Amino acid sequence: MGYKVDYIVPQRVMVTYLYGYIEADDYNAIQERSFGLMDAGVAPIHTISVVDPHIRYARDLKTLVSMMKGLDRLHEKAGWLIQVSDNSMHRFISAWALQVVYKNMRFNTLDSFEAALRFLHDRDSTLADMDIPALLADYAAWKPVVDERS
């Protein structure tokens, strides 16, 4: 289990950070936590999903299918979903898989958290007053410290 989920902009922009070893049950827990936060949020609620470069996950087809089946629906308040990874394979697989599971989803892949914030700032006029430098500082303090050796 290696994930953290919370708001970076209260009730509007959520961050999920995936690290360590991720199993199918983790995806279900992430969806449950995300939906709970979205229930109390204000639409549209955007999600920035950050994938740590050292993440490990089951690679057999049965487990991967189980993980994708766990993500069976979008929350009615969902806005953009932005995948952040510097790994081009993660970005490709995410883009492909999410477009198969969800039709007409607003999805983008980017290589940095700052790029994700700037993307949302440019796409959602209700976030025009976002203080990106302050959010980057908040994110640096919030994100988990990952031991690359484990």
Q: Note whether residue 150 is domain-resident.
A: no
Tokens matching residue 1: 């289990």
Q: Note whether residue 39 is domain-resident.
A: yes
Q: Note whether residue 72 is domain-resident.
A: yes
Q: Note whether residue 148 is domain-resident.
A: no
Q: Note whether residue 68 is domain-resident.
A: yes
pLDDT digits (tens, 9 = 90+) for 65-100: 665 555 567 889 999 999 998 877 766 766 666 666
Domain containing residue 39: CATH number: 3.30.750.24
Total structural domains within the chain: 1
User: Is a pLDDT exceeding 90 seen at residue 147?
Assistant: no
Higher pLDDT, 21 or 114: 114
pLDDT digits (tens, 9 = 90+) for 19-38: 888 877 787 888 899 999 99
CB of 35 closer than 8 Å to CB of 27: no
pTM of the model: 0.86
- Dist CA 41 CA 134 (whole Å): 21
Q: What pLDDT band is residue 39 in, cutting at 50, 70 and 90?
A: very high
Beta bridge partners of 83: 49, 109
Phi/psi at 57 (5° precision): -155, 160
Preceding amide of 144 cis, omega within 30: no
Angle made by CA atoms 8, 127, 94, in degrees to the nearest 5: 60
Domain residue limits at 28: 3-142
Q: Note whether residue 128 is domain-resident.
A: yes
Q: Note whether residue 51 is domain-resident.
A: yes
